[in-house]
Chains A and B, each alone.
Chain A
Amino acid sequence: MLFSQAHKRDVVNTATAIRVARVNGFVVLPGPARVALLRLGKVRGTGTLLAWDDVQGFGPDAVTVATDAVIRPARDALEQRAEDGDLEILGKRVLTERGTELGAVTDVDFDPETGAVTTLITKTETLAGERLIGLGGYAVVVSG
Protein backbone atom coordinates (compact mmCIF):
# COMPACT_ATOMS: atom_id res chain seq x y z
CA MET A 1 0.00 0.00 0.00
CA LEU A 2 1.27 3.47 -0.88
CA PHE A 3 1.47 6.33 1.61
CA SER A 4 -0.46 8.41 -0.92
CA GLN A 5 -3.32 5.88 -0.77
CA ALA A 6 -3.32 5.65 3.02
CA HIS A 7 -3.12 9.40 3.65
CA LYS A 8 -6.27 10.90 5.30
CA ARG A 9 -7.57 7.45 6.18
CA ASP A 10 -9.93 7.41 9.16
CA VAL A 11 -8.74 6.00 12.48
CA VAL A 12 -11.66 4.22 14.18
CA ASN A 13 -11.98 2.97 17.76
CA THR A 14 -13.34 -0.57 17.51
CA ALA A 15 -14.79 -0.46 21.06
CA THR A 16 -16.94 2.62 20.39
CA ALA A 17 -17.12 2.54 16.56
CA ILE A 18 -16.30 6.26 16.63
CA ARG A 19 -13.83 7.91 14.27
CA VAL A 20 -11.16 9.29 16.59
CA ALA A 21 -8.61 10.73 14.16
CA ARG A 22 -7.30 10.53 10.65
CA VAL A 23 -3.88 9.66 9.23
CA ASN A 24 -1.83 12.75 8.44
CA GLY A 25 1.59 11.20 7.98
CA PHE A 26 4.00 8.37 8.56
CA VAL A 27 7.17 8.17 10.62
CA VAL A 28 9.65 5.80 9.01
CA LEU A 29 12.67 4.44 10.87
CA PRO A 30 15.57 2.45 9.39
CA GLY A 31 17.08 -0.87 10.44
CA PRO A 32 14.90 -2.48 9.12
CA ALA A 33 12.90 0.17 7.25
CA ARG A 34 9.45 0.31 8.76
CA VAL A 35 6.57 2.57 9.66
CA ALA A 36 7.18 3.12 13.37
CA LEU A 37 4.47 5.69 14.05
CA LEU A 38 1.50 7.31 12.40
CA ARG A 39 1.01 11.04 12.69
CA LEU A 40 -2.63 11.87 13.19
CA GLY A 41 -4.90 14.87 12.66
CA LYS A 42 -8.41 15.71 13.86
CA VAL A 43 -7.61 14.17 17.25
CA ARG A 44 -9.65 14.88 20.39
CA GLY A 45 -6.76 15.07 22.89
CA THR A 46 -3.34 16.69 22.73
CA GLY A 47 -1.34 13.73 21.43
CA THR A 48 -1.07 13.10 17.69
CA LEU A 49 1.09 9.97 17.53
CA LEU A 50 0.02 6.35 17.16
CA ALA A 51 2.70 3.66 17.41
CA TRP A 52 2.51 0.98 14.72
CA ASP A 53 2.45 -1.67 17.45
CA ASP A 54 -0.78 -0.12 18.80
CA VAL A 55 -2.55 -0.34 15.44
CA GLN A 56 -5.17 -3.09 15.52
CA GLY A 57 -5.62 -3.23 11.78
CA PHE A 58 -4.52 -1.19 8.76
CA GLY A 59 -7.35 -1.92 6.39
CA PRO A 60 -8.30 -0.62 2.97
CA ASP A 61 -10.94 1.71 4.43
CA ALA A 62 -9.90 2.46 7.98
CA VAL A 63 -7.15 2.12 10.55
CA THR A 64 -8.50 0.55 13.72
CA VAL A 65 -7.43 0.92 17.34
CA ALA A 66 -8.76 -0.84 20.45
CA THR A 67 -8.84 2.30 22.57
CA ASP A 68 -8.34 6.07 22.26
CA ALA A 69 -5.64 5.82 24.92
CA VAL A 70 -3.06 4.64 22.38
CA ILE A 71 -3.16 8.05 20.68
CA ARG A 72 -0.50 9.88 22.61
CA PRO A 73 2.04 12.71 22.63
CA ALA A 74 5.76 12.28 21.91
CA ARG A 75 7.74 10.37 24.54
CA ASP A 76 11.27 11.40 23.60
CA ALA A 77 13.23 13.84 21.46
CA LEU A 78 13.05 11.63 18.38
CA GLU A 79 9.29 11.29 18.66
CA GLN A 80 8.99 15.02 19.23
CA ARG A 81 10.83 15.69 15.97
CA ALA A 82 8.58 13.16 14.28
CA GLU A 83 5.47 14.84 15.70
CA ASP A 84 6.75 18.21 14.50
CA GLY A 85 7.10 16.79 10.99
CA ASP A 86 10.90 17.24 10.91
CA LEU A 87 11.38 13.57 10.01
CA GLU A 88 8.68 13.47 7.33
CA ILE A 89 9.96 11.25 4.53
CA LEU A 90 7.73 12.54 1.73
CA GLY A 91 9.38 15.36 -0.15
CA LYS A 92 12.77 14.76 1.48
CA ARG A 93 15.90 14.52 -0.67
CA VAL A 94 17.49 11.07 -1.05
CA LEU A 95 21.28 10.86 -0.78
CA THR A 96 23.35 7.75 -1.35
CA GLU A 97 26.07 6.97 1.18
CA ARG A 98 28.44 8.14 -1.58
CA GLY A 99 26.93 11.61 -1.52
CA THR A 100 24.90 11.51 -4.72
CA GLU A 101 21.36 12.87 -4.70
CA LEU A 102 18.64 10.70 -6.26
CA GLY A 103 15.77 13.21 -6.09
CA ALA A 104 13.05 13.66 -3.47
CA VAL A 105 10.79 10.95 -2.08
CA THR A 106 7.42 11.18 -3.82
CA ASP A 107 5.81 8.09 -2.32
CA VAL A 108 6.54 5.03 -0.18
CA ASP A 109 5.17 1.50 -0.52
CA PHE A 110 4.66 -0.45 2.69
CA ASP A 111 3.15 -3.71 3.87
CA PRO A 112 -0.05 -2.86 5.81
CA GLU A 113 0.22 -6.17 7.68
CA THR A 114 3.66 -5.56 9.16
CA GLY A 115 4.48 -1.90 8.57
CA ALA A 116 7.63 -2.91 6.66
CA VAL A 117 8.69 -0.32 4.09
CA THR A 118 9.21 -2.18 0.82
CA THR A 119 9.97 0.62 -1.65
CA LEU A 120 10.99 4.27 -1.68
CA ILE A 121 9.89 6.09 -4.82
CA THR A 122 11.43 9.24 -6.29
CA LYS A 123 10.71 10.86 -9.63
CA THR A 124 13.44 8.84 -11.30
CA GLU A 125 14.22 5.94 -8.97
CA THR A 126 12.51 3.01 -7.30
CA LEU A 127 14.62 2.02 -4.29
CA ALA A 128 14.26 -1.15 -2.22
CA GLY A 129 13.30 -0.36 1.37
CA GLU A 130 16.19 -2.44 2.64
CA ARG A 131 18.56 0.20 1.22
CA LEU A 132 17.38 2.75 3.81
CA ILE A 133 20.26 3.60 6.16
CA GLY A 134 19.06 6.77 7.82
CA LEU A 135 16.37 9.41 7.86
CA GLY A 136 17.05 12.79 9.39
CA GLY A 137 15.97 16.37 9.13
CA TYR A 138 18.03 16.94 5.98
CA ALA A 139 17.96 13.74 3.97
CA VAL A 140 16.96 10.15 3.49
CA VAL A 141 20.22 8.16 3.17
CA VAL A 142 20.36 4.92 1.18
CA SER A 143 23.12 2.36 0.66
CA GLY A 144 24.98 1.98 -2.62
Chain B
Amino acid sequence: MSTPTPALLLRASELIGRPVVTLGGELVAEIKDIVFERTGGRIAGFTLRNPGLFSRSRKDSLPWDGVHGVGRDAVMVSDETVLLATAQLAPRKQARKSDVLEDRVLTDNGRELGRVVDVVLHGGTSLEVVGYEVEASEALGTAGRRVLIPLPDTVAVSGENLIVPAAATEFVSEDLAGFGAAVDAFRARLREGTG
Protein backbone atom coordinates (compact mmCIF):
# COMPACT_ATOMS: atom_id res chain seq x y z
CA MET B 1 0.00 0.00 0.00
CA SER B 2 1.19 3.49 -0.67
CA THR B 3 1.56 5.91 2.18
CA PRO B 4 -0.35 9.21 2.09
CA THR B 5 1.77 12.19 1.14
CA PRO B 6 2.12 14.57 4.08
CA ALA B 7 1.87 18.32 3.68
CA LEU B 8 5.20 19.37 2.25
CA LEU B 9 7.10 22.44 3.30
CA LEU B 10 10.31 23.33 1.60
CA ARG B 11 12.67 26.25 1.18
CA ALA B 12 12.61 27.87 -2.27
CA SER B 13 16.41 27.59 -2.44
CA GLU B 14 16.09 23.79 -2.20
CA LEU B 15 14.30 23.83 -5.56
CA ILE B 16 17.41 25.03 -7.38
CA GLY B 17 18.83 22.17 -9.41
CA ARG B 18 15.70 20.08 -9.01
CA PRO B 19 14.54 18.32 -12.21
CA VAL B 20 11.44 19.57 -14.05
CA VAL B 21 9.53 16.52 -15.26
CA THR B 22 6.36 16.25 -17.35
CA LEU B 23 3.47 14.01 -16.32
CA GLY B 24 4.53 11.99 -19.36
CA GLY B 25 7.77 11.18 -17.54
CA GLU B 26 10.14 13.30 -19.63
CA LEU B 27 12.89 15.44 -18.12
CA VAL B 28 12.62 18.91 -19.66
CA ALA B 29 15.01 21.02 -17.57
CA GLU B 30 16.35 21.78 -14.12
CA ILE B 31 15.39 24.72 -11.92
CA LYS B 32 18.07 27.40 -12.25
CA ASP B 33 16.67 30.25 -10.20
CA ILE B 34 13.56 31.74 -8.67
CA VAL B 35 11.85 34.81 -10.15
CA PHE B 36 9.85 36.97 -7.75
CA GLU B 37 6.86 39.11 -8.66
CA ARG B 38 7.30 42.85 -8.64
CA THR B 39 4.77 43.25 -5.87
CA GLY B 40 3.35 40.97 -3.25
CA GLY B 41 6.52 39.02 -2.50
CA ARG B 42 5.23 36.03 -4.38
CA ILE B 43 7.01 33.85 -6.88
CA ALA B 44 6.38 34.54 -10.58
CA GLY B 45 8.11 31.37 -11.64
CA PHE B 46 11.47 29.81 -12.25
CA THR B 47 14.25 30.17 -14.77
CA LEU B 48 15.51 26.87 -16.15
CA ARG B 49 18.83 25.29 -16.91
CA ASN B 50 19.22 23.01 -19.94
CA PRO B 51 15.72 23.65 -21.30
CA GLY B 52 14.68 21.39 -24.12
CA LEU B 53 16.81 18.44 -23.08
CA PHE B 54 14.65 16.28 -25.29
CA SER B 55 13.30 18.84 -27.72
CA ARG B 56 14.32 21.95 -29.60
CA SER B 57 12.49 24.21 -27.17
CA ARG B 58 14.13 27.56 -26.47
CA LYS B 59 11.70 28.31 -23.69
CA ASP B 60 13.70 28.65 -20.56
CA SER B 61 11.27 29.52 -17.80
CA LEU B 62 8.42 27.99 -15.93
CA PRO B 63 5.61 30.28 -14.75
CA TRP B 64 4.21 29.68 -11.25
CA ASP B 65 0.79 28.66 -12.60
CA GLY B 66 2.40 26.12 -14.92
CA VAL B 67 3.55 24.03 -11.98
CA HIS B 68 1.50 20.86 -11.47
CA GLY B 69 3.21 19.65 -8.31
CA VAL B 70 6.32 20.23 -6.25
CA GLY B 71 7.95 17.57 -4.15
CA ARG B 72 11.27 16.60 -2.63
CA ASP B 73 12.49 14.97 -5.82
CA ALA B 74 11.01 16.89 -8.76
CA VAL B 75 8.96 19.82 -10.00
CA MET B 76 6.14 18.37 -12.08
CA VAL B 77 4.52 20.08 -15.10
CA SER B 78 1.69 18.82 -17.27
CA ASP B 79 3.81 19.06 -20.43
CA GLU B 80 6.37 21.25 -22.15
CA THR B 81 3.76 23.71 -23.45
CA VAL B 82 3.64 25.45 -20.04
CA LEU B 83 7.22 26.71 -20.48
CA LEU B 84 7.82 30.30 -21.59
CA ALA B 85 10.70 32.45 -22.71
CA THR B 86 12.08 34.27 -19.65
CA ALA B 87 11.18 37.67 -21.13
CA GLN B 88 7.52 36.59 -21.03
CA LEU B 89 7.77 35.68 -17.36
CA ALA B 90 9.36 38.91 -16.14
CA PRO B 91 11.90 41.36 -17.49
CA ARG B 92 15.26 40.43 -16.02
CA LYS B 93 15.81 43.75 -14.28
CA GLN B 94 12.37 43.76 -12.74
CA ALA B 95 12.78 40.25 -11.48
CA ARG B 96 15.99 41.08 -9.70
CA LYS B 97 14.67 44.30 -8.18
CA SER B 98 11.62 42.63 -6.74
CA ASP B 99 13.56 39.80 -5.15
CA VAL B 100 12.47 39.59 -1.52
CA LEU B 101 15.80 38.18 -0.39
CA GLU B 102 17.61 40.62 1.92
CA ASP B 103 14.39 42.59 2.43
CA ARG B 104 13.76 43.84 5.95
CA VAL B 105 10.80 42.21 7.69
CA LEU B 106 8.84 44.76 9.73
CA THR B 107 5.80 44.14 11.89
CA ASP B 108 2.81 46.41 11.37
CA ASN B 109 3.66 48.04 14.68
CA GLY B 110 7.15 48.90 13.48
CA ARG B 111 9.52 46.27 14.89
CA GLU B 112 12.20 44.84 12.65
CA LEU B 113 12.28 41.07 12.87
CA GLY B 114 15.24 40.48 10.57
CA ARG B 115 16.24 40.09 6.94
CA VAL B 116 14.80 37.54 4.53
CA VAL B 117 17.24 34.75 3.66
CA ASP B 118 14.84 32.25 2.10
CA VAL B 119 11.21 31.69 1.15
CA VAL B 120 9.17 28.83 2.60
CA LEU B 121 6.80 27.10 0.18
CA HIS B 122 4.00 24.67 0.71
CA GLY B 123 4.29 22.08 -2.05
CA GLY B 124 2.11 19.21 -3.19
CA THR B 125 -0.30 19.72 -6.05
CA SER B 126 -0.35 23.47 -5.50
CA LEU B 127 2.41 25.83 -4.60
CA GLU B 128 2.06 28.62 -2.08
CA VAL B 129 4.41 30.96 -0.24
CA VAL B 130 3.62 30.39 3.43
CA GLY B 131 6.52 32.06 5.18
CA TYR B 132 9.98 33.55 5.11
CA GLU B 133 13.16 32.40 6.69
CA VAL B 134 14.83 35.40 8.27
CA GLU B 135 18.07 36.05 10.01
CA ALA B 136 16.56 37.19 13.27
CA SER B 137 17.08 40.62 14.80
CA GLU B 138 17.17 41.45 18.54
CA ALA B 139 13.38 41.78 18.53
CA LEU B 140 12.93 38.03 18.33
CA GLY B 141 15.28 37.16 21.19
CA THR B 142 17.17 34.80 18.91
CA ALA B 143 19.38 37.39 17.26
CA GLY B 144 21.63 36.08 14.52
CA ARG B 145 19.81 32.74 14.28
CA ARG B 146 17.66 31.81 11.30
CA VAL B 147 13.98 31.49 12.11
CA LEU B 148 10.81 30.91 10.11
CA ILE B 149 8.06 33.53 10.16
CA PRO B 150 4.59 32.63 8.87
CA LEU B 151 2.90 34.86 6.33
CA PRO B 152 -0.73 35.90 6.17
CA ASP B 153 -2.57 35.22 2.91
CA THR B 154 -1.52 38.63 1.63
CA VAL B 155 1.49 40.71 2.48
CA ALA B 156 2.77 44.19 1.65
CA VAL B 157 6.18 44.32 0.00
CA SER B 158 8.02 47.38 -1.24
CA GLY B 159 11.33 45.96 -2.43
CA GLU B 160 12.96 47.07 0.81
CA ASN B 161 10.46 46.21 3.49
CA LEU B 162 8.02 43.42 3.99
CA ILE B 163 5.21 44.06 6.45
CA VAL B 164 3.76 41.27 8.59
CA PRO B 165 1.16 41.45 11.38
CA ALA B 166 2.73 41.73 14.84
CA ALA B 167 1.05 38.47 15.84
CA ALA B 168 3.43 36.65 13.47
CA THR B 169 6.11 36.83 16.18
CA GLU B 170 4.07 34.42 18.32
CA PHE B 171 4.22 31.74 15.61
CA VAL B 172 7.92 31.72 14.83
CA SER B 173 9.59 28.32 14.30
CA GLU B 174 13.22 27.32 14.17
CA ASP B 175 12.76 24.49 11.68
CA LEU B 176 10.31 23.25 9.06
CA ALA B 177 8.99 20.46 11.31
CA GLY B 178 6.00 22.06 12.98
CA PHE B 179 6.10 25.19 10.85
CA GLY B 180 3.05 24.05 8.85
CA ALA B 181 1.00 23.96 12.06
CA ALA B 182 2.38 27.39 12.99
CA VAL B 183 1.25 28.82 9.64
CA ASP B 184 -2.23 27.31 10.07
CA ALA B 185 -2.52 28.59 13.65
CA PHE B 186 -1.30 32.05 12.65
CA ARG B 187 -3.76 32.33 9.77
CA ALA B 188 -6.60 31.06 11.97
CA ARG B 189 -5.73 33.79 14.49
CA LEU B 190 -5.80 36.45 11.77
CA ARG B 191 -9.19 35.23 10.54
CA GLU B 192 -10.57 35.41 14.09
CA GLY B 193 -9.20 38.91 14.42
CA THR B 194 -10.87 40.17 11.28
CA GLY B 195 -14.07 38.08 11.47
Residues of B within 8 Å of A, CB-based: how many? 26
A125, A141, A144: which contacts B76 (Cβ < 8 A)? A141
B2, B54, B76, B123: which contacts A95 (Cβ < 8 A)? B76
Flag if A144 contacts B5 (CB, 8 Å).
yes
Closest to B28 in A: A138
Complex: A127 Cα to B1 Cα, angstroms: 7
Flag if A138 contacts B26 (CB, 8 Å).
yes
Which segment of B67-75, B109-117, B144-152, B183-191 sits at the interface? Answer: B67-75
Complex: A1 Cα to B21 Cα, angstroms: 30
Flag if A138 contacts B72 (CB, 8 Å).
no
Chain B binding surface SS class: loop
- Residues of B within 8 Å of A101, CB to CB, are 71-74
A99 and B75 in contact, given A138-B19, A144-B2 (Cβ under 8 angstroms):
yes
Closest to B54 in A: A137
Complex: A138 Cα to B123 Cα, angstroms: 21
Closest Cβ of chain B to A132, distance in Å, is: 10
Q: Is A6 an interface residue (CB 8 A)?
A: no
Give me the interface of B with A, judged by CB distance under 8 Å: 1-2, 5, 8, 18-19, 21-27, 54, 68-76, 123-125
Q: List 26 A-B contacts (CB under 8 A).
A: A95-B21, A95-B71, A95-B74, A95-B76, A96-B5, A96-B71, A97-B76, A97-B125, A99-B21, A99-B75, A100-B5, A100-B71, A100-B73, A101-B73, A101-B74, A126-B1, A133-B23, A133-B24, A134-B22, A136-B27, A138-B21, A138-B26, A138-B27, A139-B74, A141-B22, A144-B5
